[in-house]
Amino acid sequence: MADVNVKEYVRSLVQRAKAAQKEFERTATDQLTIDKVVRAVGKTIYDHREELAKDACEETKYGTVEMKINKILASTPGQWNVMRGKKSVGYIANLRDEPGVKVMAKPMGVVGCVMPSTNPIVTIGANGMMSIKCRNACIIAPHPSAKHVSLKTVNLIRKEIEALGAPADLIQVIEPEYCSIQATDELLSQCDVNIATGGPGMVKAVYSSGRPGFGVGQGNCQEILCDDYDDLAYMARMIVANRSYDYGVPCVSEQTIHVPAVREGEFLEAMQDAGAYLIEDADKIQKLREVVFPDGEHISRDVVGRSPQVVGGMIGIDVPEDRRILLCKYSGCAQDDVLSKEILFPLARYVTYTDFRGTVAAAVANLEQEGAGHNSCIWTYDEEKIEYAAHMLPVSRFQVNQTPAGIHNGLPSTPTLGCGTWGNNSISENLEWYHLMNTTRVTVTLPNKRGWKDGDWDCFEVCPVTED
């Protein structure tokens, strides 16, 4: 396909998006009107979850239909509950200490959204809902392995939002015949702001586009079990459920589990009771390294999103159907063993330790090799250990007595996990709708604004903005 055709095609998408965004900004001046359109994006995916999950599975070859349905059930209602009723038009709350300053919400414009192959449906839903919540338009750049289901998803959404009187072009998608790296790069260079949810290549493309952007970092979640945590059966059930979810492709899956040496036996018993298949043979573990990382560095696409039974067969193990994840032990950390890297199928690895601070240092090394800025977790009731590990680990989210996914806490739901400068990202928190908002600060003169006073250089307390 000629370069000029791709450029013209993308330019036409952006022009239509800009026109739709301006119309929506002009006509959607109350929160209810906006939120009805936001709801339609999420509920359309929710209502069509079975067919979209089936299509995504068949096209991408990742995960299972049931798991993808569950992901939609968890994501789209969660996004709606995070956003509904929150002010994103007119004056909004000023959360800073700025007397006499009102904050007015404004759109950013057109949002370019780069999609992952492993999680296309819910990411379209979340990015679309977040964009439209702030009266932006968005254009979806699908992964080539999910281009058809992405087109279907967007077309379903367009029909529903148009029925509400909103412009259908508030959400568009690069069509399959144009879907390519070239088209995505062209889109990123023309949009007002971009989001990348996926691998480091996508994130780099967003931050190299010359436009503002939000990206994610690579996962490599570390999980630390401490000697005082008393419910190993519960912990093991949570680990197996999280690690097996969507056949291990979510970036919030545990990778290395750090286990006190004195608790190794009870840990293994709990994990096997919960559905783990323990690989103990050293030759099989070495074969696993070779199959998963054929060149010693990069993960094989043949294992991504595959079941424990399929990967087990690749290394000569007949894994029973009732086993939900594979489990093996390794020693060392970071560059000492390739098993310390992120692996995208249901395989948990564990190491044993006798020194808590030493294992925290090993977790840090694993993260600094791969996964800095992402998620990790700890199982303990010891506040000093929680604080120490949270202080030392270079992560943006640290979950206590939860898996790294951490869904049962106060953080807002999102498929796009900012990883800060650790992960070459612009934010170190969950990407949410309010990140896609420009603001205007409306100020008035303060008659009692505090000025400079003698002695201020010697004062270390917070300085008030006004004075009596």
CATH number at residue 26: 3.40.605.10
Q: How confident is the model at residue 3 (pLDDT cuts 50, 70, 90)?
A: low
The rounded mean pLDDT for the chain is 94
* Count of Cβ atoms closer than 10 Å to residue 159 Cβ: 12
Same domain, 173 and 35: yes
Same domain, 134 and 259: no
* Domain of 358, in residue numbers: 221-414
Specify which residues 328 forms β-bridges with: 279, 349
Residue 420 lies in a domain: no
Pairing relationship of beta strands 101-107 and 90-92 according to DSSP bridges:
antiparallel
| 132-185 tens-digit pLDDT | 999 999 999 999 999 999 999 999 999 999 999 999 999 999 999 999 999 999
Burial (CB count <10 Å: 0-12, 13-18, 19+), residue 448: exposed
Residue 449 lies in a domain: no
Same domain, 148 and 33: yes
**CATH number where 293 lies:** 3.40.309.10
What is the number of structural domains in the chain? 2
Dihedral (CA of 405, 409, 415, 421) sign: negative
Q: How confident is the model at residue 4 (pLDDT cuts 50, 70, 90)?
A: low
Q: How far apart are CA 64 and CA 219, in angstroms?
A: 21
Q: What are the catalytic residues?
A: 251
User: What local confidence, expressed as pLDDT, does residue 2 receive?
Assistant: 53
Q: How confident is the model at residue 270 (pLDDT cuts 50, 70, 90)?
A: very high
pTM: 0.91
User: What local confidence, expressed as pLDDT, does residue 72 receive?
Assistant: 95
Same domain, 107 and 247: no
> Does residue 35 register a pLDDT over 80?
yes
Same domain, 205 and 230: no
Amino acid occupying residue 105 = A
> Does residue 335 register a pLDDT over 90?
no
| 186-228 tens-digit pLDDT | 999 999 999 988 777 777 778 888 888 898 888 999 999 999 9
